[in-house]
Amino acid sequence: MPATQKIGFVSLGCPKALVDSERILTQLKAEGYEIVPSYQAADAVVVNTCGFIDAAVQESLDAIGEALHENGKVIVTGCLGKRAGLIREAYPEVLAIGGPQDYESVMRAVHQALPPRRDRFLDLLPDTGVKLTPRHYAYLKIAEGCNHRCSFCIIPSLRGRLVSRPVDEVLAEAERLVKSGVKELLVISQDTSAYGVDLHYAERPWRDRVYRTRMTELCKGLAELGVWVRLHYVYPYPHVDELMPLMASGGILPYLDIPFQHASPRILKLMKRPGDVERTLERIRAWRKAVPELTLRSTFIVGFPGETEAEFEALLDFLREAELDRVGAFAYSPVEGARANALPGAIPEELKEDRLERFMSVQAEVSAARLARKVGHRLRVLVDEVDADGALARSSADAPEIDGVVRIVGGQGLRPGQFVEILVEDSDAHDLYARLATPASGTA
């Protein structure tokens, strides 16, 4: 009997791209291909690329080049696939190039390079077939694309306009994940708050009730599953206020990932972003009054074209006043195809890096102060890793990969995916340090 065809796989980019990779890998396995962890063991390699900023483009090109050098048969998919000419110019020997979510072209290319050794193909299995995250958490992608036209962003040209998944389909997938052992669902899309607007908030039955295809309705359904539910990429639309009672009651985690991007009304206008900063601060205060334990994460761009020193200082003042718990920042980088490239007043690279350093210094002070308030408190945490030094866990305030961790001394008897209660003994600008406050058996 012929040997099984073997595929190597490289996944780059954001969690949304990771979900695309999981779907492709699931289809490959359904059609009888074996997924292998090295170039040398593979008959061909699929590279799922990112093309959002210049650094991501270069990383993707480097990954393609490495795969070609080590293996020779390479199929490219993902966001950089939208710039096929760039890839062909660098690597004309690539077998095929497809864009994001273009699962059919990936499979056609794989079939041509390595004909599947089975008589028939299965239909595409649910995303739960293959997971690239640890067993105890999973990304739940609820929509593709975006209707915004931010001047610094090319996501709509890469991934198209908003296309929401029906609410019953999302809830059914979430339930399958929970039944498979997932303890935390990380809800992702390009604009989670806009979920369902393209479907006119269509009603769909799930379990014993009817849900609208809308963010707040989806969250109510997810809350019934009894696991952590964490929301990412939430734009501060008015209906975000409706989530506060659900967070206060414990239905979903008191955590919001909101990309504010800046605090200068003029810069926000140039970015084509909402610009009512005072209203934003008022809402943050109202959210924290309703949910005192609320964690707010955000991302910002410094050195945007035309940004003055006064506007940058206004951004620092916003950081101090908003007291955001978790913050990521980037020095503005021109992206091919972005309208912001044509704006006057480009900031010198040295000044951009200086502002980024100052920004992160202020945020480190804010973060350290926020975390210090947790010293002496008991928290429920989810264990991610265990080693000879103890365990690494996360609280409701910590998303995987992008936020801090809770380092548990004496946690060697714990296991990944376990909930335990800890007592916080120390903190720094990013992490908490703790010991177990309950027996090590914890909660599975």
Q: DSSP string spanning 351-390?
A: HHHHHHHHHHHHHHHHHHHHHHTTTT-EEEEEEEEEETTE
Average pLDDT for 175-181 = 94
pTM confidence score: 0.88
75 in Cβ contact with 109 (< 8 Å): yes
Q: Is the pLDDT of residue 399 over 80?
A: yes
Encoded amino acid at 185, one letter:
L
Percent residues over pLDDT 70 in the chain: 95
Class of domain 377-436: mainly beta
Q: What is the dihedral of CA 436, 442, 443, 444, to 10 degrees?
A: 110
Q: Is 50 annotated as a binding residue?
A: yes
Give 372's pLDDT tier (boundaries 50, 70, 90): very high
At 325-350, the pLDDT tens digits run: 999 999 998 888 889 999 999 999 99
At 83-130, the pLDDT tens digits run: 899 999 999 999 999 988 888 888 999 999 888 765 444 444 444 467
At 343-370, the pLDDT tens digits run: 999 999 999 999 999 999 999 999 999 9
Rounded to whole angstroms, what are the CA distances from 404 to 298, 421, 429, 443? 14, 17, 9, 22
141 in Cβ contact with 14 (< 8 Å): no
Q: Which residue has the higher pLDDT, 160 or 131?
A: 160
Q: Which CATH superfamily is domain 6-113 in?
A: Methylthiotransferase, N-terminal domain (3.40.50.12160)
Q: Is 146 annotated as a binding residue?
A: yes
Q: Return the DSSP state at 184.
A: E
Encoded amino acid at 314, one letter:
A
Give 414's pLDDT tier (boundaries 50, 70, 90): very high
> 276-285 long-range CB contacts below 8 Å, 24 or more apart?
277/318, 280/236, 280/322, 281/318, 281/321, 281/322, 283/236, 283/240, 283/241, 284/322
Q: Structural domain boundaries of the chain?
A: 6-113, 137-373, 377-436
Q: Is 219 annotated as a binding residue?
A: no
Q: Is the pLDDT of residue 276 over 90?
A: no
Q: Which residues pair with 45 in a beta bridge?
A: 8, 74
By residue count, the chain amounts to 444
- The residue with tokens 């005192």 is 292
Give the sheet arrangement for strand 255-257, strand by strand: 137-141, 184-188, 228-231, 255-257, 295-302, 326-331
84 in Cβ contact with 97 (< 8 Å): yes
At 217-253, the pLDDT tens digits run: 999 999 999 999 999 999 988 999 999 999 999 999 9
pLDDT confidence of residue 102: 83
Q: Return the DSSP state at 198.
A: G
β-pairing, 432-436 with 406-409?
parallel
Judged by DSSP in three states, 408 sits in strand
pLDDT confidence of residue 117: 63
Encoded amino acid at 36, one letter:
V
pLDDT confidence of residue 439: 60
Residue (of 242, 245, 215, 248) closest to 231 by Cα position = 215
Encoded amino acid at 430, one letter:
H
CATH number for 137-373: choose from 3.80.30.20, 3.40.50.300, 3.30.1060.10, 3.40.50.2020.
3.80.30.20
- How many CB atoms neighbour CB 309 within 10 A? 9
Q: Is the pLDDT of residue 3 over 60?
A: yes
Cα–Cα distance, 301 to 352 (Å, whole number): 10
| Helical segments of 180-304, H only | 215-223, 244-248, 265-271, 277-290
* Max avg pLDDT among 8-22, 138-152, 302-316: 302-316
